[in-house]
């Protein structure tokens, strides 16, 4: 018997929208030209890229020439950090938060090993950065502040406009990793006041391996990928034409459905989180109750291991996550949950469900039917519970 799959891990990746696939397909076949070629095959591909650039720019209220296509969110974050610090030899201090994605954390670690100084702003129990702390951390050496728009594990949405204004007043560049927010909630670069912003296509029903970095006109950063001068000399390498076209289509679709989808997903999220917290004892919501992504539920279920719950849910066809997808192959407790002040055991007992475009009420019913059984079964065997 095959079980119906219930996919509730949209923060890890989203299914590619069929219209996105359809838009991409011709660029693998007839439209295979190299966008740098001057004959018509090439120019058709160039036109498709520029069309996609307008769509991506449109979603975030940017100008098309401020969009640089990259190989995804990780590359965009790397480019923002390394590009700005290497462009300014006089300043060597970066401010970021303790709960950033690995793309930022590891880039900061790399830079620290090369003599840069990094301040990791702490967060409160709800996952929020305190703007006063950010202000106090700025020195004459500070070149960049980078704080993510919303966290991929707990969904907490940061006060980016406030933080970016503080940075701007001090003459410090501001980057935000908006990989989890773009397409989910309104993201406008002017409203946020950011200099740089990272996006990834596969989090908004587009293809994997393509993303963008928004770079506000006038921002000084050195290229990160050297090559044939593509992307106005900002990112060398023949463009991923089908990927970029798919990304453009995905942003166009997102712009059209965002207003209806966010409240629909929030209602599913509320029912899922509310019922788990009510019906299963010793459960706690992680992250901010209201300042969070509409699709995110992150709950610690005491006395059970997240990994065991995941495997048992998987046997029932339910896909969820514990910690972030990128770190779930290692058994280290999530740095995000630890930064909220959770004990190691509670961090290990966390489950993240992220609903999406095709999640239905029946999907939520199924989780609410299966999860309590899984928890009871595991708690009955739990050495943690016995030692209580
Ligand atoms: N930043 C955040 C907040 C993410 O959630 C992710 C993906 O998990 C990334 C960056 C990396 O994006 P990509 O998978 O496109 O490299």
Give the closest residue (by CA) to ligand 1 atom 12.
73
In 3D, which of 61, 55, 296 has the Cα closest to residue 181? Answer: 296
Q: Is the CB of 180 under 6 A from ligand 1?
A: yes
Q: Tens digits of per-residue pLDDT, 93-150?
A: 999 999 999 999 999 999 999 999 999 999 999 999 999 999 999 999 999 999 999 9
In 3D, which of 226, 230, 178, 172 has the Cα closest to residue 204? Answer: 178
Report CA-CA distances (Å) from 62 to 11, 72, 212. 24, 18, 12
Q: How far apart are CA 366 and CA 28, in angstroms?
A: 39
Question: What pLDDT is stored for residue 1 in this prediction?
Answer: 61
Q: Tens digits of per-residue pLDDT, 205-218?
A: 999 999 999 999 99
In 3D, which of 20, 18, 4 has the Cα closest to residue 246? Answer: 20
Question: What pLDDT is stored for residue 2 in this prediction?
Answer: 74
Q: Tens digits of per-residue pLDDT, 255-304?
A: 999 999 999 999 999 999 999 999 999 999 999 999 999 999 999 999 99
List of residues 6+ apart from 140 with CB closer than 8 A: 91
**Mean pLDDT of the region 151-172:** 98
Question: What pLDDT is stored for residue 384 in this prediction?
Answer: 66
Q: Is the CB of 211 under 6 A from ligand 1?
A: yes
Atom of ligand 1 nearest to the CA of 100: 3
Question: What pLDDT is stored for residue 388 in this prediction?
Answer: 56
Task: Pick the catalytic residue from 3, 257, 311, 326.
Answer: 326
Q: Is the CB of 148 under 6 A from ligand 1?
A: yes
Q: Tens digits of per-residue pLDDT, 298-346?
A: 999 999 999 999 999 999 999 999 964 344 455 788 999 999 999 988 9
**Mean pLDDT of the region 35-54:** 96
Q: Which of 103, 155, 329 to mutate to test the pocket of ligand 1 (most atoms within 8 A of CB)?
A: 103
Q: Tens digits of per-residue pLDDT, 142-160?
A: 999 999 999 999 999 999 9
Q: Tens digits of per-residue pLDDT, 341-374?
A: 999 889 999 999 999 999 999 999 999 999 999 9
Instruction: Calculate how far, in angstroms, residue 90's C-alpha sits from the geometric centre of ligand 1.
Output: 30
**319 tagged catalytic:** no
Q: Is the CB of 295 under 6 A from ligand 1?
A: no
In 3D, which of 117, 208, 193, 119 has the Cα closest to residue 149? Answer: 193
Instruction: Calculate how far, in angstroms, residue 283's C-alpha sits from the geometric centre of ligand 1.
Output: 28
């Amino acid at each position: 018997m095959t079980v119906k799959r219930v996919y509730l891990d949209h923060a890890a990746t989203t299914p590619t929208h069929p219209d996105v696939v359809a838009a991409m397909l011709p660029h693998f076949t007839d439209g295979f030209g190299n966008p740098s070629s001057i004959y018509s095959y090439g120019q058709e591909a160039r036109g498709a890229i520029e069309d996609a650039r307008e769509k991506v720019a449109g979603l975030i209220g940017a100008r098309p020439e401020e969009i640089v296509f990259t190989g995804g969110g990780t590359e965009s974050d790397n480019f923002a950090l390394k590009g700005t610090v290497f462009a300014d030899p006089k300043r060597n201090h970066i401010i970021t938060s303790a709960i950033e994605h690995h793309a930022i954390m590891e880039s900061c670690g790399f830079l620290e090993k090369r003599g840069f100084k990094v301040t990791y702003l702490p967060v409160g129990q709800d996952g929020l950065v305190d703007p006063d702390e950010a202000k106090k951390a700025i020195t004459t050496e500070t070149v960049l502040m980078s704080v993510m728009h919303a966290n991929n594990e707990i969904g907490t949405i940061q006060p980016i406009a406030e933080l970016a204004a503080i940075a701007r007043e001090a003459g410090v560049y501001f980057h935000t990793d908006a990989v989890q927010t773009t397409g989910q909630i309104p993201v406008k670069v002017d409203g946020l006041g950011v200099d740089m912003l990272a996006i990834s296509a596969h989090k908004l029903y587009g293809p994997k391996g393509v993303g963008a970095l928004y770079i506000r006109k006038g921002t000084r950063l050195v290229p990160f990928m050297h090559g044939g001068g593509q992307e106005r000399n900002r990112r060398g390498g023949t463009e991923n034409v089908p990927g970029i076209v798919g990304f453009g289509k995905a942003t166009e679709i997102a712009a059209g459905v965002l207003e209806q989808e966010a409240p629909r997903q929030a209602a599913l999220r509320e029912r899922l989180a509310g019922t788990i917290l009510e019906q299963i004892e010793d459960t706690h919501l992680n992250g901010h109750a209201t300042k969070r992504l509409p699709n995110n539920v992150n709950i610690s279920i005491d006395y059970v291991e997240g990994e065991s719950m995941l495997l048992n849910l998987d046997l029932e066809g339910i896909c969820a996550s514990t910690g972030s997808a990128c770190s779930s192959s290692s058994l280290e407790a999530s740095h995000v949950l630890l930064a909220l002040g959770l004990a190691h055991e509670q961090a290990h007992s966390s489950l993240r469900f992220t609903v999406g475009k095709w999640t239905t009420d029946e999907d939520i019913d199924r989780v609410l039917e299966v999860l309590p059984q899984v928890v009871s079964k595991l708690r009955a065997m739990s050495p943690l519970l016995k030692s209580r």
